Amino acid sequence: MSLTRQDVEKIARLARLSITEAEMPVYVTSLSSIVDFVDELSRVETDNVEPLAHPLEGQRLRLRADVVTETDHRESYQANAPQVQAGLYVVPRVIE
Amino acid sequence: MLHTLSIGELARRLAAKEISSVELARHFLERIERLNPSLNAVITLTADQALEAARAADRRLAAGERGRLLGIPLIHKDIFCTDGVRTSCGSRMLENFISPYDATIVTRLKAAGTVMLGKSNMDEFAMGSSNETSYYGPVRNPWDTTKVPGGSSGGSSAASAARLAPFTTGTDTGGSIRQPAALTGVTGVKPTYGRVSRYGMIAFASSLDQAGVLARSAEDAAAVLEVMAGFDPKDSTSIDTPVPDYPALLDAPLKGLKIGLLREFFDGLERRNAALIRDALEVYTSMGAETLEVSLPHLPLSVPTYYVVAPAECSSNLSRFDGVRFGYRCDQPKDLMDLYERSRGEGFGPEVKRRIMTGTYVLSAGYFDAYYLKAQKVRRLITDDFRKAFEKVDLVVGPTTPTPAFAIGAKVDDPVTMYLNDIYTIGANLAGLPGISAPCGFVDGLPVGLQLIGPHFSEARLLSAAHHYQRATDWHRKTPGGYQ
């Protein structure tokens, strides 16, 4: 196994994912097999190769005029929220 | 038998008032109600909205307006936001999400007068190659309901193949239009990255995602793509370049076209599949095309490259699902961390969690250079291979998938085996290239796809090449038994 249970617990915490006891061994095995699989890349000679982040390189990000284009959608957006109160999103208490 | 007709023929009959858009919508809604239980391809039916849109299209037709898609029904993949209609992305996370706006492609197709019948099932957040990762259950292949329809646009491919709509929409991040099109015997087009707007299309891997169409012929697909494509200021990677009149360019002469046969695409390919691809090439040669072998030496690395880049981007994109603003929230969270972790842990399925964790790992401190940066370098090598090939040939061809449709359940326990199913399709996504899969025969009664890939913005040439092939063959006209 290229990843230990502790590794997977750490990754899950970073990703903010709760993983049940029953699921844990499955993720240790499958994530290890994926990491082993992508490790094939380490054998490729890439000295002097520039990383490619975007398939159409050279495209410049556009600037738009600094004008208001969005209107107020609070009500329709909050209709999808799990819990709202007085137009605010409700979460468990953060500051004691 | 309205469901057997091409989009062009339906548009002609609508214009001649031989049929109405309402009749057409009712015909397909009846088919969905009768046939969908055997397939699970459609997960939301919008019958009332469909009839309303059809009546509006009939009024436009009565007023003398004409359009290639005016009054034509369709089914949208449930990854596209549809105003006032549930948009689940195949996930429990968005089970109750009613989109407050339309994706740009939905807006464009609505404006053209299309009639949405419903939304199609898909792998959860488009992560899968078999439609088995959907929270709403697997989709079945109409050619054999014990087999998968491919994925992630498996609901769309099954619906197109079973004639539940004249066409369906899809998205393709690593093959998610072309692979299911191949496995169900329909024509699937993945356009150039940036050709079609991604606005309102729920993001998976933003440097790879592209929307497209699944239809029953290149001719039908050309009519749809012409409407879907085009610049959108709401998508920062949308390309501002004119959209050719794809249907008008279908008959462009094929003679002299240089077709490259991809050597690497035949390594390990099953003999009978390989024979069908070679038969298709002979059809092209007989029509005056020139074929030569080309090599993309780095192509075998495309799957490991993709499984670093795509999960990395997915882990970032899916961080928006936090149980606060929209989507699933767990019961009784004890604090904010518990709310995040359990909402995401319970709202996402196993494959999505696996990819988020893979992405988190390759982006984490100490591993970024070894995995993510390395993968981006190999991505350049693969892209350069294609560029060099297109100095010699106009387009390259090969199979779309290594095998025909496999059994439901056969690969679910082994993610790497499942990932390898996309070995022939991922390269085009990494390089941002357009590709088409068109039916080219059968193995054991299951359809096989021929894949054509071209340089950036060569959709017109690809559609034309597929159209010439479909005029010389009738594989694309075959309909699965029970769905004729």
| Cross-chain Cβ contact B194/A62 below 8 Å | no
Residue B418 pLDDT exceeds 90: no
- Over residues B160-171, the pLDDT tens digits come to 999 999 999 999
The upper half-sphere exposure of residue B51, i.e. CA atoms within 13 Å in the direction of its Cβ, equals 8
Residue B88 pLDDT exceeds 90: yes
Residue B478 pLDDT exceeds 80: yes
Structural domain boundaries in chain B: 2-258+393-477, 301-374
B302 chain-A contacts, CB cut-off 8 A: none
Residue B74 pLDDT exceeds 90: yes
- Tell me the catalytic residues of B: 77, 152, 176
Pairwise CA distance, residues A88 & A76, whole Å:
13
pLDDT band of residue B393 (cuts 50, 70, 90) is very high
Q: What local confidence, expressed as pLDDT, does residue A60 receive?
A: 77
The enclosing H or E element of A34 equals helix A24-38
| Chain A interface, best mutation among B83, B305, B361, B384, by max A CB count within 10 A | B361
**Residue B276 C-alpha, separation from nearest chain A C-alpha, in angstroms:** 30
| Cross-chain Cβ contact A52/B323 below 8 Å | no
Cβ pairs bridging A and B (under 8 Å): 174
Would residue B187 be called left, alpha or beta, if left means φ above 0 and alpha means ψ between -120 and 50 degrees? beta
Interface ipTM: 0.96
pLDDT band of residue B129 (cuts 50, 70, 90) is very high
| Cross-chain Cβ contact A27/B353 below 8 Å | yes
- Over residues B282-300, the pLDDT tens digits come to 999 999 999 999 999 999 9
Residue B85, C-beta contacts closer than 8 angstroms, at least 6 positions apart: B44, B46, B49, B98, B99, B116, B119
**Residue B139 C-alpha, separation from nearest chain A C-alpha, in angstroms:** 24
| Cross-chain Cβ contact A11/B379 below 8 Å | no
Query: Which CATH superfamily is B2-258+393-477 part of?
Result: Amidase signature (AS) domain (3.90.1300.10)
Q: What local confidence, expressed as pLDDT, does residue A69 receive?
A: 87
End-to-end CA distance of chain A: 42
Instruction: Identify which of A12, A50, A92 has the shortest CB distance to residue B333.
Output: A92
Give the residue-averaged pLDDT of B65-72: 97
A49 chain-B contacts, CB cut-off 8 A: 377-378, 380-381
**Which class for A6: exposed (0-12), middle (13-18), buried (19 or more C-beta within 10 A)?**
exposed
Pairwise CA distance, residues B142 & B161, whole Å:
7
Helices then strands, counting H and E runs in chain A, come out as 3, 2
Question: Which among B161, B184, B127, B177 is positioned nearest to B425, based on CA atoms?
Answer: B177
Instruction: Identify which of A14, A34, A93 has the shortest CB distance to residue B307.
Output: A34
Contact B255, B224 (CB under 8 A): no
| Cross-chain Cβ contact B326/A80 below 8 Å | yes
Pairwise CA distance, residues B344 & B321, whole Å:
7
Residues of chain A under the 70 pLDDT cut: none
Pairwise CA distance, residues B473 & B456, whole Å:
27
Q: What local confidence, expressed as pLDDT, does residue B413 receive?
A: 84
Instruction: Identify which of B236, B344, B376 has the shortest CB distance to residue A53.
Output: B376
Q: pLDDT exceeding 70 applies to what percent of chain B?
A: 100
B304 chain-A contacts, CB cut-off 8 A: 37-41
B338 chain-A contacts, CB cut-off 8 A: 92
Q: What local confidence, expressed as pLDDT, does residue B320 receive?
A: 97
| Cross-chain Cβ contact A55/B208 below 8 Å | yes
| Cross-chain Cβ contact B344/A51 below 8 Å | no
Residue B20 pLDDT exceeds 80: yes
Portion 62-81 of B in contact with A at CB < 8 A: none
| Cross-chain Cβ contact B342/A92 below 8 Å | no
Q: What local confidence, expressed as pLDDT, does residue A20 receive?
A: 94
A30 chain-B contacts, CB cut-off 8 A: 354, 415
Instruction: Identify which of B324, B353, B431 has the shortest CB distance to residue A17.
Output: B353
Reading the block at residue A68, the tokens are 């208001």
- Over residues B254-284, the pLDDT tens digits come to 999 999 999 888 877 889 999 999 999 999 9
Determine the distance from the C-alpha atom of residue B122 to the mean position of all C-alpha atoms in its chain, rounded to a whole number: 10
**Which class for B356: exposed (0-12), middle (13-18), buried (19 or more C-beta within 10 A)?**
buried
B398 touches chain A (CB under 8 A): no
- Cα-flanking dihedrals φ and ψ of residue B84, to 5°? 80, 0
Pairwise CA distance, residues B16 & B402, whole Å:
45
Pairwise CA distance, residues B82 & B49, whole Å:
11
Q: What local confidence, expressed as pLDDT, does residue A63 receive?
A: 86
The enclosing H or E element of A84 equals strand A84-85
Largest Cα span, chain A: 58
- Over residues B32-57, the pLDDT tens digits come to 999 999 999 999 999 999 999 999 99
| Chain B interface, best mutation among A41, A43, A48, A84, by max B CB count within 10 A | A41
Pairwise CA distance, residues A17 & B337, whole Å:
10
Pairwise CA distance, residues B176 & B6, whole Å:
24
Q: What local confidence, expressed as pLDDT, does residue A49 receive?
A: 97
Q: What is the 3-state secondary structure (H, E, C) of chain B?
A: CHHHCCHHHHHHHHHCCCCCHHHHHHHHHHHHHHHHHHCCCEEEECHHHHHHHHHHHHHHHHCCCCCCCCCCEEEEECCECECCEECCCCCCCCCCCECCCCCHHHHHHHHCCCEEEEEECCCHHHCCCCCCCCCCCCCCECCECCECCCCCCHHHHHHHHCCCCCEEEEECCCCCCHHHHHHHCCEEEECCCCCECCCCECCCCCCCCCEEEEECCHHHHHHHHHHHECCCCCCCCCCCCCCCCHHHHCCCCCCCCEEEEEHHHHCCCCHHHHHHHHHHHHHHHHCCCEEEEECCCCHHHHHHHHHHHHHHHHHHHHHHCCCCCCCCCCCCCCCHHHHHHHHHHHHCCHHHHHHHHHHHHHHCCCCHHHHHHHHHHHHHHHHHHHHHHHHHCCEEEEECCCCCCCECCCCCCCHHHHHHHHCCCHHHHHHCCCEEEEEEEEECCEEEEEEEECCCCCHHHHHHHHHHHHHHCCHHHCCCCCCC
B432 chain-A contacts, CB cut-off 8 A: 54-56
Question: Which among B317, B339, B318 is positioned nearest to B330, based on CA atoms?
Answer: B339
| Chain A interface, best mutation among B83, B190, B329, B377, by max A CB count within 10 A | B377
**Residue A80 C-alpha, separation from nearest chain B C-alpha, in angstroms:** 5
Residue B248 pLDDT exceeds 80: yes
| Chain A interface, best mutation among B353, B382, B422, by max A CB count within 10 A | B353
A18 chain-B contacts, CB cut-off 8 A: 341-342, 344-346
B345 chain-A contacts, CB cut-off 8 A: 17-20
